[in-house]
Each structure stands twice: as structure tokens, then as C-alpha cells.
Chain A
């Protein structure tokens, strides 16, 4: 099965950090990526730019509305995602728990709806 891991966390510490500090903070993610690839579990994964760079689009009455940012009240925002291959939910939970974001934010595990 494929699962999407949605990484929700407060990214202000990262955004406000110096370049060196950012590299240090990224290291655990690099190691995690390596582990996923080595285990053959990595399908894809990306870090997202902060919520300040987000745009919301919706079409109402044939009119396209474009707004800045998501309207989230919490500091935890969607900051990145992985799509992984895992035999079952327990394996997916295992990967989610090892994801660096899980130790300071929240990792949501969602099964991919199979369409093929």
C-alpha cells in the first residue's frame, strides 16, 4: 500500500534560523530520506515553502478568487510530505514515528486511494 505522510509543524524556528543552523536542522531529514530510500519505501517527498508563500484559490459563481495564505489559527502548518510504500498501517506508523517532524510537530498518515 501507499501512504502519504503529511508533516505538520511550526516552521518559524527554521525560517528565522541562520543558513548554518538551517543545514544543521535539515540533517535529520537527509538521514531519514536515506533510510526511506535504502528500505525501498520512498516514493516521493518534498519540503514545502512556508505558509507565508501560500496562495488559496477557489472558484465561486464562475469567478476565480485568489487569496493569500491558508487561514490556519495554529502555528502548526503543512510543511512537507512523503509518499511511501508500506505493507500495512503499522509499517507506515513506524515510518511516521521516525520522521523528524514527529518529535516536534505532528505527522498525519493517510492511505493513498488506489485508482489504478
Chain B
């Protein structure tokens, strides 16, 4: 893995020694943690795909992974991280036998794979089975809502409590759901491989959906104050990169990564110096991450070369059109409205319909836009803050301040993020000036 070599070259121990508790040390710690997660995920995937026993694979490696998370930031990433983890895992399991009964399955797994794996590692042909593991986690036999958490746990080694807090459910509920899903994988014989071509489209869609769900959970926290959310978004990007690296010929995966990078590039601009919410149209384009945006656009070009179209590519293109404001100075709303019209033909989401109506209004047709909002008629929108905020905005564009005021009131009532609520309150107060 090129990334790992890079981390190794940086010499995490050296950095930690000379810089102490500085940003450099923090970077070294993050790099060591990422390396530990990489190796852990590869080992879990290797073991689980041969035994179908995800929980057993996790058990076998849990202590070694914890040791790596604690030690590598100080000592640097070892030359053969997987071999290091495996050695520690085997030693720990012997220690544990003396102290307490450890998972029998875990030990059996370690015995089972030990020699075979060592041979493969010696030949440096240690296979990367993570994609197979990801496909198992996102299998249609697994409840849709638990797929993203399951991928985060098995591939990246996050504990149930961390995942639970990111997905806003109680740790015990999340833990139960994860345990149930893993036993289902084992008992029902869910395969650990990239599906046949005939099924690949639908299955890959489930994988991408899970990654996107993780990203959206992370993105939802506009303030960025809660680091668990920010981490979730970057882990989703990491998974998106992994899928693109392992399946470079899938335009949907390229489109999703592009979409996530576009959003991520604008993260720093979502708040001003005082921590107040800044809407996309008012963001300072200089605070966008130019290199992420360039990478996102390049991915979109790569995806486009396949000559197919899908929701991620279109959503990526919409993001790209917004980002183009950094060159053009203005937003091409007509182009964005056209892209949303295209998205409408392959998506039945009322959220897409709301965005389409707004784009049409901003493209110079506010009456048409408002009529389109009225025409959506989806009961779910009654409790959807952006719908009421959009409605308020279009009503105020048309000078219908009284109705706009009512719509803002509803939007404010539905919003939970206080910075966004403050922003909506300011917009509402501005109505009086008209």
C-alpha cells in the first residue's frame, strides 16, 4: 500500500520525539491509527472471508488492535504491520488462557490462519479481502440500516459505542444490531466476495449507499464541533477511496467519491469566524479546499468517460457546478436546474424535487419554482426543515412576506442545530425590513 509506505517514511516516532505534543505529533498519531485500522481491516477480512465468522475474527484480533492503537503512535508503524498484529494476537491469546477464558472461536481462527497467513505474508502476497467483507456487510440479507455501521466496525475497527454515538442510537441497541447482523452473516452463509456481474449493479449500489449514509451522518453536523461526526465523514471518504482503488472501473463509485470530496472541500466554509452558519451561496470561495475540489472534478471526468449516468455522477456534477463559482464569480443556476431535472428522472426522492424547485426559482423563475414546490405533495416534507426554509425563501423572493414568515417559523421549529436555527431566525427577522 503506497499510503502505508508514506506513513512509515515519515517516521512517526521521530516526529513524536522532536515535536512533543504538537500538531506534528497529532499527525503522527493519526497516521499510526490509520495504519493500524488498515492492517486490522485487512486481517479481519482475511480471516472472516475464510471462516464466515466476523465476530470470531474480531475477537481474535481485538487485543492486538488495541495494542497497536496504543503503541504505534509512539514507536512508529512496524515494517510488516499485519505480521505484528498477528504475532501480538497469538501471544495475547496464550496469555489470556492463563488469566481468563477467551473466545474459543477466536483462538481456533488464529490457529487456523496462522501458518497459512505467515507464508503468504512472507511471499508478500497477502490478499486484500476487504472489498469482499464490505460486500458481505452490505448484502441484501442484512438489514439496510445496519449495513453502514457494520462496515465501519468490521473494516475500520470502530467499537459499537463510537458507532452508536455517530448514528445517534444507544450503545446497547447498536451493539445488539451489530451482533445480530454478524450472526446472520455466519448462519445464513452470506458470501464474502464481489458479486457476479448480473448482481453487481444492485449490490454495489447497496455498498455505496452504506458509505454515503455514513458520510451523511458525519456531514449532518454543520457546526463541526462534534469530532465524532467529522470523523465519520472522513472515514466514509476513506472507504470511498478504498472502493475506487479496488474497483477503479465503476463510475458510480467514482461519482460518489467525487460528491463526498466536493462536500468535504467546503466544510471549513460552513461557519464564519463567530461560528455562525454560512449558507452555500454566501460562502467565501477562498476558504474552500482547492486541492480536494480539483480531485473531485478529476474523479467526475473519469466517471463521465464510461458514458453511463447515475445519481452519484449527477449529484457530483451539481456539486461541481456550485464549486465553479470560485472561477466564475456567479452560480450558473440554469445549469444546476437542468442537472436536477436529470436527477428527477432517476430519483423519486422528494428532497431532490425540493432542490430542483429552488434551482428553477434561482435561475430566474421564482413563480415556477414555488408552483413546483406546491406540486410535490409528499407528506414527509411536512417535517423536513429544508422544505420550509426553501418555501420561505421563494415566498420572500416573490414579496409574500406574511406567508414567508409562517414558513420560516415552521422551519425554525423543525431545526435542531442551533447555528442553523439562528441563521433562519435572522432571515425571518430580515423579512420585516421589506
**Residue of B whose beta carbon sits closest to that of A3:** B189
Which of A3, A88, A111 is within 8 Å of B191, CB to CB?
A88
Q: Is the CB of A88 within 8 A of B187?
A: no
List the A side residues contacting B386 at CB < 8 Å. none
Say which size band chain B's interface belongs to: 10 to 19
The main secondary structure of chain A at its interface with chain B is mixed
> Number of residues in A with C-beta < 8 Å to the partner?
11
A111 and B188 in contact, given A89-B139, A89-B141 (Cβ under 8 angstroms): yes
In the docked arrangement, what's the CA distance between A86 and B190, Å? Answer: 11
Closest-CB distance, B157 to chain A (whole angstroms): 25
Contact B188 A90 (CB under 8 A): no
The answer to whether the Cβ of B114 comes within 8 Å of any Cβ in the partner chain is: no
Q: Mark A77-116, 1 if CB is under 8 A from B, else 0.
A: 0000000001111111000000000000000010100000
Which of B141, B189, B190: most chain A Cβ within 10 A? Answer: B189
Which B141-195 residues have a C-beta within 8 angstroms of A? 141, 187-191, 195
Q: 1/0 per position for B95-113, CB-CB distance to A under 8 A?
A: 0000000000000000000
Which of A87, A91, A111: most chain B CB closer than 10 A?
A111
Whether B199 sits at the interface, judged by CB under 8 Å, is: yes
Give the chain A neighbours of B199 by CB distance below 8 A.
90
Verify A90–B191 contact, CB threshold 8 A. Answer: yes
Question: Within the assembled complex, what's the spacing in Å between the Cα atoms of A91 and B196?
Answer: 11
Q: Is A67 an interface residue (CB 8 A)?
A: no
Q: Which residues of B contact A89 (CB under 8 A)?
A: 139, 141, 188-191
Task: Establish whether residues B187 and A111, one from each chain, have CB atoms under 8 Å apart when the complex forms.
Answer: yes
Q: Is A1 an interface residue (CB 8 A)?
A: yes
Docked CA distance A30–B195 (Å) = 29
In the complex, besides A3-B189, A87-B191, A89-B141, 16 extra interface pairs with C-beta distance below 8 angstroms are: A1-B189, A86-B189, A87-B189, A88-B191, A89-B139, A89-B188, A89-B189, A89-B190, A89-B191, A90-B190, A90-B195, A90-B199, A91-B191, A109-B188, A111-B187, A111-B189
Can you spell out 10 A-B residue pairs with CB atoms less than 8 angstroms apart? A87-B189, A87-B191, A89-B188, A89-B189, A89-B191, A90-B190, A90-B195, A111-B187, A111-B188, A111-B189
